[in-house]
C-alpha cells in the first residue's frame, strides 16, 4: 500500500470512505489523519508481530526501560520517516490536494512527560529500535499528559491535556495481558508444608493494570519494538466497600502525569503510580521470561531492567518479592539476582528532587514491599557497621530508611549493579560529592553515559532543508552513522556552502517568524539574531538572568541613543509546574518585559521579546531549526546534562552557556572559538555553597546596571505590577541569590556582547555553525544507547538491519 503513489492513493481513498462513511470531499483533516495513521499502523504490524516472535523465541537478552515519563510528541511523522515512506505519502496526498504537514498537525502530542527526563526516554526508544536492540519501554498511560499552557495577561493558566479525546491510532489495548496490582491490606506469615516461613498479602485492594502497546519503529530496519503503557482500571472482583470511591481512586492512578520536574507532591497517589508501574511491568517481564523455561537464577543473563531515575526504584523490592515469595529463593540468592538484573540512572542532584517517602504512608500502602525494604536496609546498615565501626553519622546518612523516611536514591544505589550520571561533569559530581559515600563502597558501579538525542527527529524530521544540504555535501551515510557529520568540517571555508547554510537558516527563521506572528501577533525582524531559551521554567535554569540582560539592553538603549546593538529577538518557551509560585512569576516577568520593549518605538527595531505559549515537542521542532543562539545558562553544577543544548547545536545554533552539564562536552568538541562560555565554574559554585554563599547585595550596590534593573522589578517601572515581582526581588537580595544570577551577570553581559560582535562577521558565524553541526554526531542517542547496551545491559542487536535502497 506504500509501494507507489497510485497504490497508496487508492488504498487511502477506499479506507477513508469505508471508515468514516463520508465522501472524500466531506472528510475533515481529522478524519484523514486517523485514516492515514491507521494505515501506517497496519503496515507496521507485520514487522511488529515478527519482532515479537523473534523476541519470544530468541535466547538473546532483553532490556526493559522503566520510566514514569515518555515524552513522545507526535508519532506519525517519525514513523513515516523511519519507514521510508515519506515520498510516496507526500506525493500521493498532494495529488489529492492534501498537505502532509497540515495533516500531521492534527495529531496531538503524546506528552506523557515533563521535560528532559521524559524526552530522553522517548529518544532512547527511537534509538533502541533503530539499532535493532531488543528494548522494551514500560510506562503509564496517563489520561492527561502534561497540562496545556495558555498565557492570559502574561500569566500562565493550565488546562487539562486531552490527547486521548479523539482516539489514539497508535496504541493497541491488550486486556488479556492485564495484571492485578494490590494495595493496602496486611501481610500474614505462615509455615508451609516444608516448614518454611512464608508471607501472604491479605485484604488488599486490587487495581487492574491494562496494557496498551505502542509500536516503536526503527529507522530502515524490520525491528518494531514495543512501548507498553499501563492503564489503571477497576479490578473485576466483588467489592464490598463504597464502589464509587473505589472506581474513582482506581482511575486516579493513571489520570494525571505529575506536573513536577523536580519536586513531588500528592505523595500517596504518586507512590501508587510508581508501584503500579513496577508491579505490572515486572509481572509481564517475568511472564515472558518464564515462557523460556530457564532456571530463575539465570534471570540476569536474559533480562536487564533499567530504572529511569528513582521513580521506578520499587522494582528492587518487587523483584525481591517475586524471587522470595513466588520463586522461594533464599534471601542472598534473590539479592544477587536482583542487583545483577537492575541498573539505575540518576538525573539530578537537586535535593528537592531526591525522592523520600514517609514510612507512615509507605508501610500501609505497600505492606509486603515495605517489609522487604526494611530488611534490605537492615542488612545494608549491618555491612556499614562492620566497615565503619562507630561511625554513626555516616551510617545514618547512608541508611535507606532514616528519620521515618525511605530514601529512594539510596535504595537505587544499593540495589543495582550500575549507577550512571547523564554527563561527564554530573557523574563526577555524583562520585566526588553528592554520592561520595556510596562511591567509596561501590566504585565499580558508577559510570557515565552522556545523554543524547535522536538525530532522526531533531534533524532529519524537523529540519529537512538542512538535512538536504548536508546530504548533498557528504552523502547520506551520516543518517545511520551520525559521527560522519564530522566530514562537514571540510566545508567550513567553502563560501558556497556557507551561503547555502545561511539560506537554510533564513528559510527556517521565516517559518518561525510566521508562527510567532500567528500566535503572538508580533512582527519580528528577520535579520535580527534569533536568541532562544526553551526548557522548563526553573530557578536554576536562570531564565531570570536572560531577562535581566534584556532589561539592561533596553535601559542602556533608552539612556544612550548611540548604543544600538545588532537587532535581537529573544524567544522563550517554558512551562512552570502549577504549584511553583516563583517560576510562574518569572513567566509573568518575561511577558511584562515583552510588553514594554516590544511597544517602545524608540528601541523596538533592535529588541523584541517573544514568549511562545505551550512549549512542547511539536513546537520545539519548529523552533530549533530557526535558532541562532542557544541559551544554556544554568548555575554551574545544577543542570545534570541538558538535551536541548544538543538539539540547538545539531541545527547549527551557537551556544552561550555556563560550564555545566553537557555544555562542557559541547565545548570540548567545538572548541572555544565556536561557543560562548561565561560565568562561574561548578567548582566555584560548590565552594561558595560550602562556605555559605556570597553577598548578592554587594553586586546590587556596586553594579549600576544590576541596581537599575533589579529596582525596576519593584518600583513601578512596569505599569500595574504593584508587588507582583516582590518574590523575585527578594530571591535576589533577601534570600541572597541562591543561583548566583547577579554574580554571573557581568560575565553574561560581556559574553553577550561577544555574541553580537561575532554575528557582524556573518561568514565567521556560519563557519562556527558548521563546526557545531559537524561535531554534533557524538550527541546522537544512538551513541548513548550503544554505550548503555555494551557497558550496562549487555544486550546485542537481534534483527539484522535491512537497509532499503
Binding site for ligand CR1 (CB under 6 A): 115-117, 120, 261-262, 309, 347-348, 353, 422, 451, 639-643, 661
Cα angle 444-449-453, degrees, rounded to a multiple of 5? 165
Q: C-alpha grid cell for residue 399?
A: 541508611
Of the candidates 624, 625, 597, 623, the residue with the CA atom closest to the CA atom of residue 609: 597
Nearer of residues 353 and 474 to ligand CR1, judged by Cβ: 353
Q: What does the chain come to in residues?
A: 805
Q: C-alpha grid cell for residue 744?
A: 554571573
End-to-end CA distance of the chain: 18
416 as an active site residue: the answer is no
Nearer of residues 115 and 154 to ligand CR1, judged by Cβ: 115
Compute CA distances 18 → 32, 499, 739, whole Å: 12, 50, 59
The count of C-alpha atoms lying within 13 angstroms of the C-alpha of 323, restricted to the half-sphere facing its C-beta, is 25
What's phi and psi for 576, nearest 5 deg?
Answer: -105, 140
Nearer of residues 426 and 445 to ligand CR1, judged by Cβ: 426
Q: How far apart are CA 572 and CA 458, in angstroms?
A: 19
Nearer of residues 182 and 452 to ligand CR1, judged by Cβ: 452
Task: Report in angstroms how near the CB of residue 636 gets to ligand CR1 at its nearest.
Answer: 13
The b-or-e profile of 383-421 (16+ CB within 10 A means b, else e) is ebeeebeeeeeebeebbbbbeebbbbbbbbbbbbbbbbb
647 as an active site residue: the answer is yes
- Residue nearest ligand CR1, Cβ-based: 116
535 as an active site residue: the answer is yes
Task: Report in angstroms how near the CB of residue 575 gets to ligand CR1 at its nearest.
Answer: 13
347 as an active site residue: the answer is yes
Nearer of residues 135 and 661 to ligand CR1, judged by Cβ: 661
Give me the residues paired with residue 233 across strands: 208
Answer for the pair 250, 210: CB distance below 8 angstroms, yes or no.
no
Task: Report in angstroms how near the CB of residue 3 gets to ligand CR1 at its nearest.
Answer: 40
Question: Helix 86-95 to helix 5-20 angle, to the nearest 10 degrees?
Answer: 70
Q: C-alpha grid cell for residue 620?
A: 520545539
Q: C-alpha grid cell for residue 484?
A: 560522519
536 as an active site residue: the answer is yes
CA 341 centroid distance within chain: 24
Contacts of 274 (CB under 8 A, 6+ apart): 68, 311, 312, 313, 314
Nearer of residues 274 and 768 to ligand CR1, judged by Cβ: 274
Task: Report in angstroms how near the CB of residue 452 gets to ligand CR1 at its nearest.
Answer: 10
Alpha helices in 111-263 (DSSP H): 116-130, 243-252
Give me the residues paired with residue 629 across strands: 531, 654
Task: Report in angstroms how near the CB of residue 118 gets to ligand CR1 at its nearest.
Answer: 8
Nearer of residues 311 and 479 to ligand CR1, judged by Cβ: 311
Annotated active-site residue in 643, 655, 658, 751:
643
Task: Report in angstroms how near the CB of residue 18 gets to ligand CR1 at its nearest.
Answer: 44
Q: How far apart are CA 398 and CA 407, in angstroms?
A: 9
382 as an active site residue: the answer is no
CA-based Rg of the chain, rounded to a whole angstrom?
Answer: 27
Nearer of residues 451 and 508 to ligand CR1, judged by Cβ: 451
Q: How far apart are CA 363 and CA 354, in angstroms?
A: 19
Annotated active-site residue in 41, 272, 536, 596:
536
Any idea which residue has 498511560 for its cell?
141
Compute CA distances 247 → 250, 255, 647, whole Å: 5, 12, 43
Compute CA distances 777 → 182, 472, 722, whole Å: 46, 17, 49
CA 593 centroid distance within chain: 29
CA dihedral for 504, 507, 511, 513, sign (positive or negative)? positive
Task: Report in angstroms how near the CB of residue 309 gets to ligand CR1 at its nearest.
Answer: 5
Task: Report in angstroms how near the CB of residue 100 gets to ligand CR1 at its nearest.
Answer: 31
Task: Report in angstroms how near the CB of residue 634 gets to ligand CR1 at its nearest.
Answer: 8
Question: Helix 5-20 to helix 29-57 angle, to the nearest 10 degrees?
Answer: 110
Nearer of residues 239 and 540 to ligand CR1, judged by Cβ: 540
Q: How far apart are CA 596 and CA 725, in angstroms?
A: 15
Annotated active-site residue in 228, 272, 347, 616:
347
Task: Report in angstroms how near the CB of residue 144 gets to ligand CR1 at its nearest.
Answer: 19
Tell me which residues are annotated as active site. Answer: 347, 535-536, 541, 643, 647
Amino acid at each position: 500500500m506504500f509501494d507507489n503513489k497510485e497504490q497508496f492513493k487508492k488504498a487511502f481513498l477506499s479506507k477513508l470512505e469505508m471508515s468514516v462513511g463520508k465522501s472524500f470531499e466531506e472528510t475533515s483533516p481529522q478524519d484523514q489523519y486517523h485514516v492515514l495513521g491507521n494505515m501506517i499502523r497496519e503496515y507496521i504490524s507485520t514487522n511488529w508481530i515478527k519482532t515479537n516472535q523473534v523476541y519470544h523465541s530468541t535466547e538473546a537478552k532483553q532490556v526493559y526501560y522503566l520510566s514514569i515519563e515518555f515524552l513522545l510528541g507526535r508519532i506519525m511523522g517519525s514513523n513515516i520517516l523511519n519507514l521510508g515512506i515519506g515520498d510516496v505519502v507526500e506525493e500521493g496526498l498532494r495529488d489529492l490536494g492534501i498537505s502532509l504537514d497540515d495533516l500531521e498537525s492534527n495529531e496531538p502530542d503524546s506528552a506523557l512527560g515533563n521535560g528532559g527526563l521524559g524526552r530522553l526516554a522517548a529518544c532512547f526508544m527511537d534509538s533502541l529500535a533503530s539499532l535493532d536492540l531488543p528494548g522494551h519501554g514500560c510506562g503509564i498511560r496517563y489520561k492527561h499528559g502534561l497540562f496545556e499552557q495558555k498565557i492570559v495577561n502574561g500569566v500562565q493558566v493550565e488546562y487539562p491535556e486531552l490527547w486521548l479525546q479523539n482516539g489514539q491510532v497508535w496504541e493497541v489495548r491488550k486486556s488479556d495481558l492485564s495484571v492485578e496490582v494490590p494495595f493496602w491490606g496486611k501481610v500474614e506469615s505462615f509455615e508451609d508444608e516444608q516448614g518454611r516461613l512464608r508471607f501472604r498479602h491479605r485484604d488488599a485492594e486490587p487495581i487492574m493494570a491494562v496494557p496498551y502497546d505502542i509500536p516503536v519503529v526503527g529507522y530502515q530496519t524490520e525491528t518494531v519494538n514495543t512501548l507498553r503503557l499501563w492503564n489503571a482500571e477497576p479490578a473485576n472482583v466483588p467489592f464490598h466497600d463504597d464502589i464509587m470511591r473505589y472506581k474513582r481512586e482506581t482511575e486516579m492512578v493513571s489520570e494525571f502525569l505529575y506536573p513536577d520536574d523536580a519536586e513531588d507532591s500528592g505523595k500517596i497517589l504518586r507512590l501508587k503510580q510508581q508501584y503500579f508501574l513496577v508491579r505490572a511491568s515486572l509481572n509481564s517481564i517475568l511472564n515472558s521470561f518464564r515462557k523460556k523455561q530457564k532456571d530463575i537464577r539465570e534471570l540476569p543473563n536474559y533480562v536487564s531492567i533499567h530504572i529511569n531515575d528513582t521513580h521506578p526504584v520499587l522494582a528492587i523490592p518487587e523483584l525481591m518479592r517475586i524471587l522470595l515469595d513466588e520463586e522461594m529463593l533464599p534471601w542472598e540468592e534473590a539479592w544477587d539476582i536482583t542487583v545483577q538484573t537492575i541498573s539505575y540512572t540518576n538525573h539530578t542532584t537537586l535535593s528537592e528532587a531526591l525522592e523520600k517517602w514517609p514510612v507512615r504512608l509507605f508501610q500501609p500502602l505497600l505492606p509486603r514491599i515495605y517489609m522487604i525494604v526494611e530488611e534490605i536496609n537492615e542488612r545494608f546498615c549491618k555491612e556499614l557497621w562492620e566497615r565503619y565501626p562507630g561511625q554513626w553519622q555516616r551510617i545514618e546518612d547512608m541508611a535507606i530508611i532514616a528519620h521515618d523516611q525511605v530514601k529512594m536514591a539510596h535504595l537505587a544505589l544499593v540495589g543495582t549493579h550500575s549507577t550512571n550520571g547523564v554527563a561527564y561533569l554530573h557523574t563526577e559530581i555524583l562520585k566526588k560529592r553528592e554520592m561520595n559515600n556510596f562511591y567509596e563502597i561501590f566504585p565499580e558501579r558508577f559510570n557515565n553515559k552522556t545523554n543524547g538525542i535522536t538525530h532522526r527527529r531533531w534533524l532529519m524530521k524537523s529540519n529537512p532543508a538542512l538535512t538536504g544540504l548536508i546530504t548533498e555535501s557528504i552523502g547520506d551515510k551520516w543518517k545511520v552513522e551520525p559521527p560522519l557529520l564530522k566530514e562537514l568540517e571540510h566545508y567550513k571555508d567553502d563560501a558556497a556552502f556557507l551561503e547555502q547554510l545561511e539560506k537554510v537558516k533564513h528559510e527556517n527563521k521565516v517559518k518561525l517568524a510566521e508562527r510567532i506572528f500567528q500566535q503572538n501577533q508580533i512582527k519580528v525582524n528577520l535579520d535580527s539574531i534569533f536568541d532562544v531559551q526553551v526548557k522548563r521554567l526553573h530557578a536554576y535554569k536562570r531564565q531570570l538572568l536572560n531577562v535581566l540582560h534584556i532589561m539592561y539592553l533596553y535601559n542602556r538603549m533608552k539612556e544612550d541613543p548611540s548604543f544600538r546593538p545588532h537587532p535581537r529577538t529573544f524567544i522563550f518557551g517554558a512551562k512552570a509546574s502549577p504549584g511553583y509560585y516563583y517560576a510562574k512569576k518569572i513567566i509573568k516577568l518575561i511577558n511584562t518585559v515583552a510588553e514594554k520593549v516590544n511597544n517602545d518605538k524608540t528601541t523596538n527595531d533592535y529588541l523584541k521579546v517573544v514568549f511562545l505559549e505551550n512549549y512542547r515537542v511539536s513546537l520545539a521542532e519548529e523552533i530549533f531549526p530557526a535558532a541562532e543562539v542557544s541559551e544554556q545558562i544554568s548555575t554551574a553544577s545544577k543542570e545534570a546534562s541538558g538535551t536541548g543544548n544538543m538539539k540547538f547545536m545539531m541545527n547549527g545554533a551557537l551556544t552561550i552557556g555556563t560550564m555545566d552539564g553537557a555544555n562542557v562536552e559541547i565545548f570540548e568538541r567545538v572548541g572555544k572559538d565556536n561557543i560562548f562560555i561565561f560565568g562561574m565554574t561548578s567548582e566555584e559554585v560548590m565552594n561558595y555553597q560550602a562556605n555559605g554563599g556570597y553577598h548578592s547585595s554587594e553586586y546590587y550596590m556596586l553594579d549600576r546596571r544590576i541596581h537599575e534593573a533589579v529596582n525596576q522589578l519593584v518600583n513601578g517601572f512596569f505599569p500595574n505590577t504593584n508587588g507582583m515581582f516582590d518574590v523575585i526581588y527578594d530571591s535576589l537580595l533577601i534570600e541572597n541569590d541562591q543561583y548566583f544570577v547577579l554574580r554571573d551577570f557581568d560575565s553574561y553581559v560581556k559574553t553577550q556582547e561577544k555574541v553580537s560582535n561575532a554575528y557582524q562577521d556573518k561568514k565567521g558565524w556560519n563557519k562556527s555553525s558548521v563546526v557545531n553541526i559537524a561535531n554534533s554526531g557524538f550527541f546522537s542517542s544512538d551513541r548513548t544507547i550503544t554505550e548503555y547496551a555494551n557497558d550496562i545491559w549487555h544486550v546485542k542487536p537481534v534483527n539484522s538491519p535491512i537497509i532499503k535502497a
